[in-house]
Amino acid sequence: MNPKYPHLLSPGKIGNVTLRNRTVMAAMGMSQSDNGFVNTAVLNHYAARAQGGVGAVIVEVTCVDSPLGLNTNGMLVIDDDKYIPGMAQLAEVIHDGGAKAFLQISHTGRGARRAIIGTQPVGPSPVAMPYSFMMGLANETPRELTIDEIKAIEDKYADAALRAKKAGFDGVEIHSVGYYLGQQFLSSTANIRTDEYGGSRRNRIRFHLNIVKKIREKCGNDFAVIVKLSVVEQGPDGGISIPDGIYYSKMLQKAGVDAIEVLAGKWSGSPGKNEKPESAYPDCMAVPLCQVVSAGILLTTGRKKTIPLIGGGRAQNPEKAERAIAKGKCEFIFIGHGLLVQPDLVKLIDEGREDEIRPCIGCGHCINQQLQHGGKAICSGNAVLARGDNDYKITPAQTKKKVAVIGAGVAGIEAARIAALRGHTVDLYEASDEIAGQINLADKPPFKDHFKLLKPYLGRQLELTGVKVHTGRALNAEDVKALEADAVVIATGSKPAMLRIEGSERAVFAKDILAGAHAGQNCVVIGGGSTGCETAELLGKQGRNVTVVEVTDTLAGNTGKTAQTILLGHLKGFKVKTLTECRAEKITADSVICRDKDGKEITLKADTVVMAVGERPDASLYDALKDEIAEIYNIGDSNGGGIIPAAVYEGYTVGNKL
């Protein structure tokens, strides 16, 4: 055991279940089941995290009432005995990896979508779900559940818990955070009932207390029960106050719940300029809420809490996690996205290899890909996540090759890293003086704190894998041929596109502004994609007068919904003007002349005009070599570009082909 973390890595108990350390993998939906059934991809996903050293695995949100309670089409289901065999396999692979297994059980309630469940969603009351950061939309008004229906759903939770026990799980977690039914019953704005299930704190917690009682009756006291609880619901529509959260925690402790995973629920009205996206979340951000719960129970009962609290939130930093437990702020640490990007995170901490942990940059693609696009989770750092069968094995190459990778952005580095791990001799060439490509600009806008962690990680991986890095080496086709490599990977990136209008030579590119180029007081950004909006955000924060001109009706449309919502809130907070469905037609010495959708001419004062109309692939080197070299690949932005997860996946795939 790493002596730096004696508390984090020491055993702990949740009910009668002893964990090998104090780390808990938080439940995170992957949407990769086969019609609710466990498949090979699900098994491999959780096996990798269990083998990676975590103390307990809480399996992703699992539906107790299909289809009415579904979240996505790929959600796991446990509302029938037919799911038990697959769940038994899942519990077994988690136990084989040395971790304890818990199953998160849930109903989506009013957060469900008619397109998925085929009917009107249900909820405690006929109150539509407000705009949610995670869902990215307001749902239709749900049908109010009758008392008989509520009791039937309570029974479904208890039946699901019994199936989990029969399958070999050590316990269950009741999901009461976010837009799920558990939180909806606890919220005074979502639950406006006046019967036994609403109207007071005591009545709003009744749904949970009944579920716990029914689980105990069916499963006994030796089967652990955790509640994932919103102890406060933030936002203009928030309906759980801190006193509410303390009361709910106290009642759950009294009911014999074995642990509470402490979080905050969040709805959004219009986020302001100080609202932080996930890319700037502080480490262990939910731990202070654990202290609130502990202090609240002591204050209201005169006795210290007896229920273990699970705190976390961006808990990849082991030093902060260790301090949280050592100081008694919480008893366990939950880790979410950190374990998606780095399955063996806890093992690396235990072995003193913290510098090998790939950071979660907080891009939000894992959530966005599921809830906005109906797909499976993807990751900007982990190419394997929810792809195929989630097979993490890297097979040694049968024939060792001399490999040249041209371009040290994220795609090129991933290709080089995987190729080297497979036994190839790899040289990586970069025209500029530093590695990481677009990441060197992506971390410059405000609130991109965690993007800054990626470059040191990439450099360390190149060291560990023995890739020989050559910076400041711009190679042409003849140079590449002279390397006499057995295989060549082209990852030369892209170049900013230019809108060909009169006066365009007066404009600067967004990348220049992000890199620190001077800007005047009056700035016009042409192009309202993510780069244009983030550049405007930076300029607005600097106190400049900024206008964004976008030809479509959507700003930052290529950004994940959560990040997009916050980014647009920042633009508003920094008083950035936005003109959508507006086309820039001419740039003069002191203005930009535009035309709106109705044909009206608009003149915008501008000392600086920023061009942010996208990128075009730089495939010139590949085109010059594709008929000259037998084994050659083109990946990343030079192959069409896209989001970071796509670049990493292409690099990983090519590295395994070599």
| 551 burial level (CB within 10 Å; 0-12, 13-18, 19+) | middle
Distance CA 350, CA 22 (A): 12
Cβ 397 vs Cβ 422: under 8 Å: yes
CA distances from 97 to 48, 49, 165, 171, 433 (A): 8, 8, 19, 17, 43
Angle between helices 242-254 and 287-301 (to 10 degrees): 70
Query: In residues, how long is the chain?
Result: 658
Contacts from 323-331 at CB under 8 Å and sequence distance 24+?
Answer: 324/284, 324/287, 324/290, 325/7, 325/8, 325/22, 326/7, 329/287, 329/288, 329/290, 329/291, 329/294, 330/262, 330/287, 330/290, 331/12, 331/22, 331/259
Annotated active-site residue 83? The verdict is no
With a CB cutoff of 8 Å and minimum separation 6, the contacts of 86 are 37, 38, 39, 42
> Cα–Cα distances in Å, from 195 out to 149, 192, 244, 255?
14, 9, 18, 21
Euclidean distance between CA atoms 603 and 35, whole angstroms:
55
Rg (CA), the chain: 26
Looking up tokens 């001399």 gives 402
Question: Pick from 73, 18, 601: which is nearest to 370 by CA?
Answer: 73
From residue 460, how far is each of 318, 406, 467, 645 by CA, in Å?
19, 19, 10, 20
The sign of the CA dihedral 512, 514, 520, 522 is positive
Residue pair 605/483 in contact (Cβ under 8 Å)? The answer is: no
Catalytic residue, candidates 46, 83, 180, 633: 180
Residue 2 CA from chain centroid, whole number: 28
Which residues are known catalytic residues? 180
